[in-house]
Amino acid sequence: MSLFLPSEPRSRLVVLGLDGLPLNLARTLGASLPNLRRLAGDAVTVRAELPELSPVNWTSVATGEGPEGHGVFGFSHLDPRTYGLRVTQATDETCPTVFDRLGERGLVSRVVNLPNTYPARPLRGMLVAGFVAPDLRGAAYPPFLAARLGEAGYKLEADTTRGRTDPAYLLDELRETLKSRLTALDMLWPDLGWDLFVHVFTETDRLFHFLMDAVVRPELPAHFECLRFLADWDHALGRFLARYDALPEPKRLLVVADHGFTELTTEVSLNTWLMRAGLLSLSGAPDDEWDASKITPESKAFALDPGRIYLHERRRFARGTVLPGEREGLLARIIDGLMALKYEGAPVLRAVHRGTAFYPGSASDQCPDLVCEPRPGFDLKAKFDRWNIFGLHGRTGTHTVDGAIFADTRGARPERMRDVGRIILQHFDITG
């Protein structure tokens, strides 16, 4: 009789990310997409963290924390000394990821196309970074993986700059990225030398941003081609699910979107609103939409995408002049003004939250003083080169806070995105 007991089999957890997919649309599309129908059948909805952006919400999934815990508050990061704006990166995260915490237990993670993981950091496992990774060289860990992906023609991201005015080109680009996601899946999955596998398809987000009207309206010219693409996407889901189905027990599947989506009513320029309210002025014409360097010392407040508002305080910004005694009056003035803002008679905002209460305990210099929660259909913007409060700029769909799809083969029902990350940790008996 052997004195050695066999080791327990791995209890693998698979996380399938479907960027921007709302449950209501998934159920509608599922009538003709069998793999999506399977996923949507027992699904529920999960609420996005604010702001309802991919970097914020996928980071919450990847850490089990809200923005006050992980330090990512939006798509852009402002240097308070120089007013330089750059894209948020993984290096801005201020807490360990679930991959870090699994690695401490000797557990292995494999990750494909997870947004806000560039530059790829060392982990116990393998990772291919997602949006907004500019090049493969810094997007893969271990580094040798970048060369293998490059040889296979891996495409990090679709060209949406040209694609926004050329639907056929956009759909071709999305087919290429879809193929690339399957290429990475075929590289990282087969040896089963992992405990956690995270794979994110971001193609739906790009499709909905620029062609949501065509997706939901049969009378539009691009509708049929959008459905053809979605059939290809559903086939890719089938490839993924076939791999999951073939896994030995014990196993578990989570399906999650980072936010919902709906048709766009209008974009809303918060910096233009602040200018018209006499709270923001620029020293000259901005070089581009990102140019925050023209903010004057006289400015009382400014906004960053999508709905973050910052008081231009002396203690916080190099050219700031707002004093502590002015703070409460300015916050109240901005909240009252924005809550009264209407478009064609309809209120734009559901709420304006105070940052200190909404992100309790945050010590980050990126934490906003106010965070705006839009009503469905309104896309909050904070460009520095726009002069109209309302307008359309090539997009037909926008994110929503509510409605993101979530499904779990073990029936968990998270309230918001950070809870999804905590479910991952709890699966591996990691708490605290």
Per-residue confidence band for 55, with pLDDT thresholds at 50, 70 and 90: very high
| Cα 77 from Cα 186, distance rounded (Å) | 35
Per-residue confidence band for 7, with pLDDT thresholds at 50, 70 and 90: low
192 pLDDT more than 90: yes
Question: For 403, phi and psi rounded to 5 degrees?
Answer: 100, -5
DSSP state for residue 8 in the 8-state scheme: P
Once rounded to an integer, what is the mean pLDDT over residues 72-96?
97
Domain 266-391 has CATH 3.30.1360: yes
Residue in 424, 400, 126, 376 with CA at minimum distance from that of residue 257: 400
Per-residue confidence band for 1, with pLDDT thresholds at 50, 70 and 90: very low
Superfamily of segment(s) 12-262+397-427: Alkaline Phosphatase, subunit A (3.40.720.10)
Percent of the chain with pLDDT over 70: 98
Percent of the chain with pLDDT over 90: 97
39 pLDDT more than 50: yes
Angle, alpha carbons 397-62-37 (nearest 5°): 50
Once rounded to an integer, what is the mean pLDDT over residues 131-139?
95
Give me the sign of the Cα torsion angle 329, 331, 335, 338. positive
5 pLDDT more than 70: no
274's tokens: 């602040």
| Cα 117 from Cα 111, distance rounded (Å) | 10
What digits encode the pLDDT tens for the residues 90-99?
999 999 999 9
Question: What is the predicted pLDDT for the residue at 6?
Answer: 44
The SS3 of residue 69 is helix
Per-residue confidence band for 432, with pLDDT thresholds at 50, 70 and 90: confident
What digits encode the pLDDT tens for the residues 367-404?
999 999 999 999 999 999 999 999 999 999 999 999 99
The SS3 of residue 386 is coil
Question: For 176, phi and psi rounded to 5 degrees?
Answer: -65, -45
Once rounded to an integer, what is the mean pLDDT over residues 156-181?
97
The SS3 of residue 283 is coil
Cβ neighbours of 15 (radius 10 Å) = 25
Mean pLDDT of the chain: 97
193 pLDDT more than 60: yes
Instruction: Please state, in angstroms and as integers, the Cα–Cα distance from residue 13 to each residue in 42, 178, 202, 207, 425, following that order.
Output: 18, 22, 20, 28, 10
Strands (E), 24-173: 44-46, 76-78, 85-87, 109-114, 125-129, 140-141
DSSP string, 327-384: HHHHHHHHHHHHHT-EETTEE-EEEEEEHHHHSTT---TT--SEEEEEPTTEEEE--S
What digits encode the pLDDT tens for the residues 409-427?
999 999 999 999 999 999 9
| Cα 404 from Cα 383, distance rounded (Å) | 26
Once rounded to an integer, what is the mean pLDDT over residues 183-198?
99
291's tokens: 């140019």
Q: How far apart are the first and last CA of the chain?
A: 41
Break the chain into its structural domains and give their ranges: 12-262+397-427, 266-391
What digits encode the pLDDT tens for the residues 264-277?
999 999 999 999 99
Question: What is the predicted pLDDT for the residue at 3?
Answer: 43
What digits encode the pLDDT tens for the residues 223-235?
999 999 999 999 9
What is the radius of gyration, based on Cα positions, of the chain? 22
| Cα 342 from Cα 361, distance rounded (Å) | 33
407 touches 237 (CB < 8 A): no
| CB-side neighbour CA atoms (13 Å) of 267 | 19
Instruction: Please state, in angstroms and as integers, the Cα–Cα distance from residue 270 to each residue in 105, 346, 349, following that order.
Output: 45, 17, 11
339 pLDDT more than 60: yes
What digits encode the pLDDT tens for the residues 282-331?
999 999 999 999 999 999 999 999 999 999 999 999 999 999 999 999 99
Question: What is the predicted pLDDT for the residue at 8?
Answer: 73
Once rounded to an integer, what is the mean pLDDT over residues 33-55?
98
Give me the sign of the Cα torsion angle 179, 187, 253, 45. negative
Question: What is the predicted pLDDT for the residue at 9?
Answer: 83
DSSP state for residue 95 in the 8-state scheme: S
Residue with token string 């905002």? 349
Task: Burial-class residue 245 by CB neighbours within 10 Å (0-12, 13-18, 19+).
Answer: exposed
| Residue 150 φ/ψ region, left for φ over 0, alpha for ψ in the -120 to 50 degree band, beta for the rest | alpha
| Cα 91 from Cα 353, distance rounded (Å) | 27
2 pLDDT more than 70: no
Beta-strand pair 378-381/266-269: parallel
Residue type, 67: P
67 touches 48 (CB < 8 A): no
Exposure string (b/e) for 183-221, b if CB count within 10 Å is 16 or more?
bbbebbbeeeebbbbbbbbbbbbbbbbbbbbbbbeeeee
